[in-house]
Structure 1
Amino acid sequence: MLNRVIQQFKLHIQSINEVEDSHSSTVYKCNLPKGETVFVKIPYTKLKFQRELEAYEILRGRVSIPELLDVWPGDGECPGAFLLSELKGKPLIPDTSHTVAYQVGVLQAGMHSVQPPVGKELTGIKNEFTDWSNFIERQFYSFAADVKDVLDSRLYEQAITKFEKIKGQLPSPDGPSFVHMDFRPANIIVDGDKVSGIIDFESVRFGSTEIDFTKLYRDYLSFDSDLYKSYQEGYNSVRPLIDLEIVLPFYQFTDAFNSIGWCKRRGIEKHAVFLEKNLSLLKGFLQ
C-alpha cells in the first residue's frame, strides 16, 4: 500500500522511516533528494481520512498546522492518504520554558475559537455540542464492554457507579468549538522556544472545550505549577479558559476508563505499560 501511495504522489524518496506514537494512522517520514522532508499519512479508516481532510480545510490560515501538499482519496483497498509538509521541531516535552507553555495555551485557545463553518456540510467531523452529555455517555459505554473484560467485577461496578453519580455535576458545556480529542504533547511540535503547531486530526469533533484539557494536563501541565500558570495566561489571552478544577476530575476519570478499553481493543500485550498506567489512575480515582 505504501508503494502505491508513493506512486500516487510521484515521490522520489532518498530514505523513509515509520513514525512512532501514531495510533490512528500509519505515518512515514520521507527524506527527498534535495534535503526536503515530507510526511506520508495513511489513516486506518475512511472516516478518519475524511475528518482529517476537513480539519485541514477548516483550520488552514487560522491555526498553525502542516501544509497539505497533496491528497489521494484512495480506492477499495486504501482509505486514502495525505502528503504533508514538515513542522520544524520535536514533540513537546515537560521540561520546557514558560514561553513555550504560554504559546501552547495560545495554540489551543486559537483552535477552540474555531466554530462550525456556516453553510458548509461536513461528512467527517460531527457537531456533538448540542447533545454533549449523551456524546460523553456514548463514548464511556462504548468502551465499557472492553473494560469489563479487564477489570474485576467489583472495580468495574465501582467505575460505573461513579460515572453515573458525577456526570450530572458538570457545568454547561463551553462551545461549540473545534476540539482535537487527542491534544497531547506528542501532537504538539516545538522548535526551541517556539511552538511550531499541532498535528493529527483523525478524532476531531465540534463540541465542548472541556474534553480537550485532560491529556495535556496529565502529560505536561501537571508537572510544574508555574508552567501551568503560563499556559493559562496564554489561553486567556485569546479566549476565557473554563474552570478546569471543576471538569478535570471527571474527564481524568473517564479518560483512564476509556483508555483501558482502548488497550483491550488494540492489544493488551502491545500496550501493557499504558494499560498499567491507566489501571493505576482509575484505582486512584475510585478510592
Structure 2
Amino acid sequence: MDSLIKLYQQRLGLQDATFSRIDHEEGIVATVYQVILPSGKKRILKVCQKPVDYFNEIYFLKNLVNLPVPRVFQELPPENEINGAILMEHYSGNLLQKEDFTHSLIYEIGRQLACIHQHNATGYGDLTRSNELEVDPLQYFAIKFEEVFHECNVHLPKQLSDKCYQYYSAYQHLLRAVDGPCFTHRDFRHGNLIVKDNKLQGIIDWSAARGGFAEEDFCPIEHGEWQISSEDKNAFLNGYSSVRPVPNYKSIMPLLRLCRALNVIGFTLKNGSWNGKNEKIYSFNYDFIKAFPIK
C-alpha cells in the first residue's frame, strides 16, 4: 500500500480498515478506494486530484441530501501537498450498463435528473465561489468554450478549428433562452449511476457539478454516450417531465455537443491518453468534429 493511503488511514482514524483501489475506465479524474471497516461495513474514499473538485463534491453532496447521493462520513480538506479526500457512503450494485435498461429504471433516472434541476442556483459557475458567479449564461458558456477550444486549437487542423469557432460565434446567442441557473451534474451518464435489481441506487461523482442550465445534462444522452433506444429515451423524458417540463434543448444541442467533444479531446491531450487508454473516446469525439455541423 502506498504511503499516501497510510497517511489517509491515520488522518481519518482508519488504521484497522482495509483499502482496495477501484480501477475502471470511468475513473479518470480521481482516485477511488473501497474501504472495509473492521465491522465489515463498506465505505468509499475518493481522493480528488484538484482542490476545486474536492470542494465541489462536498458542496453538492451536502446540498442534495434528499436525493440518492452518497452520505459524507468524513472530510479531509486539501492542504500543502496532500490531496483532499472524502469518506462517503458505499452503494451496493454496479455502474449502469445498457443491458440494465428497463423502462421503469430509465424513467426513474430521468425523474431524478429533474429533481436535481429543481434546485435553483444563484448564478452560473462554481457555486463554492459565490462572488465569481455569472448572471449571463452566454458569458458562463463562453468561459468554458474558450478554455476547451484553446486546449484543442493547436492539435486540430486549422480548417477544423476555424469551423468550430465559426459555429460557436454564429449560434451562441441561442443560449439566451436556456433553463437556469440551477444545479447541474454536467456528467450525467452510465459511469456515474449505480443500479441494483432494476433500481437506481445512487448518483455519484459531483466534482464537475456547477450552477448551470438544465440543457447541459441532456448532452451526454444526445451525444450518443448512452446508446439508448428511442423507446427508452421516451421513458427517460417521461420520468423527467413528471417533475418539471423538459427543456426545449434541440436548437442548442449541436453547440453543447461541440463543446463536449472539444472538452473530451482537450482532456485526453492534457493527460496524454488520446492515443492510449482513451483512444476510443478521443476518436469518437474527433470524428464528430470532423462531421460537424450535424443536421
With normalisation by structure 1, the TM-score equals 0.91
The DSSP-based 3-state class of the residue aligned with 1:115 is coil
Q: Give distance in 1, aligned partners of 2:266 and 2:249.
A: 25
1:147-166 to structure 2, matched below 5 A, reads 147-166=152-171
Report if aligned partners of 2:71, 2:88 keep a CA contact under 8 Å in 1: yes
| Structure 1 residue 39 corresponds to structure 2 residue 36 | no
Structure 1 unaligned spans of 5+: none
1:245 Cα shift? 2.2
Corresponding residue for residue 275 of structure 2: 269
| Equivalenced residues, count | 284
Report if aligned partners of 1:126, 1:205 keep a CA contact under 8 Å in 2: no
Among 6, 9, 12, which residue is 1:9 paired with?
A: 12
Larger RCO: 1 or 2 (CA < 8 Å, sep 6+): 1
| Structure 1 residue 205 corresponds to structure 2 residue 210 | yes
What does the per-residue CA deviation read over 1:25-52, in whole Å, with 9 as the maximum and x for residues that have no partner? Answer: 2111223344322111111121211111
The DSSP-based 3-state class of the residue aligned with 1:245 is coil
1:99 Cα shift? 0.6
1:173 Cα shift? 1.6
Root-mean-square deviation (Å): 2.3
Report if aligned partners of 2:254, 2:293 keep a CA contact under 8 Å in 1: no
AA of the residue aligned to 1:73: P
The DSSP-based 3-state class of the residue aligned with 2:291 is helix
Report if aligned partners of 2:46, 2:86 keep a CA contact under 8 Å in 1: yes
1:71 Cα shift? 0.9
Corresponding residue for residue 285 of structure 1: 292
1:126 Cα shift? 7.8
AA of the residue aligned to 2:288: L
Identity of aligned residues (%): 24
What does the per-residue CA deviation read over 1:184-213, in whole Å, with 9 as the maximum and x for residues that have no partner? Answer: 110011112101120111111112111111
Report if aligned partners of 2:120, 2:182 keep a CA contact under 8 Å in 1: yes
| Structure 1 residue 250 corresponds to structure 2 residue 255 | yes
Q: Give distance in 2, aligned partners of 1:98 and 1:282.
A: 32
Structure 2 unaligned spans of 5+: none
Q: Give distance in 2, aligned partners of 1:125 and 1:191.
A: 37
AA of the residue aligned to 1:233: N
Report if aligned partners of 2:36, 2:42 keep a CA contact under 8 Å in 1: yes
Report if aligned partners of 1:179, 1:207 keep a CA contact under 8 Å in 2: yes
Report if aligned partners of 1:101, 1:231 keep a CA contact under 8 Å in 2: yes
Q: Give distance in 2, aligned partners of 1:110 and 1:155.
A: 38
1:225 Cα shift? 0.4
Q: Give distance in 2, aligned partners of 1:125 and 1:183.
A: 24
Among 219, 226, 234, which residue is 1:214 paired with?
A: 219
Corresponding residue for residue 88 of structure 1: 92
Q: Residues 94 and 218 from structure 1, CA distance in 2 versus in 1: closer, same or farther, beyond 3 angstroms?
A: farther
1:127 Cα shift? 7.5
1:222 Cα shift? 4.8
AA of the residue aligned to 1:269: N
1:129 Cα shift? 5.8
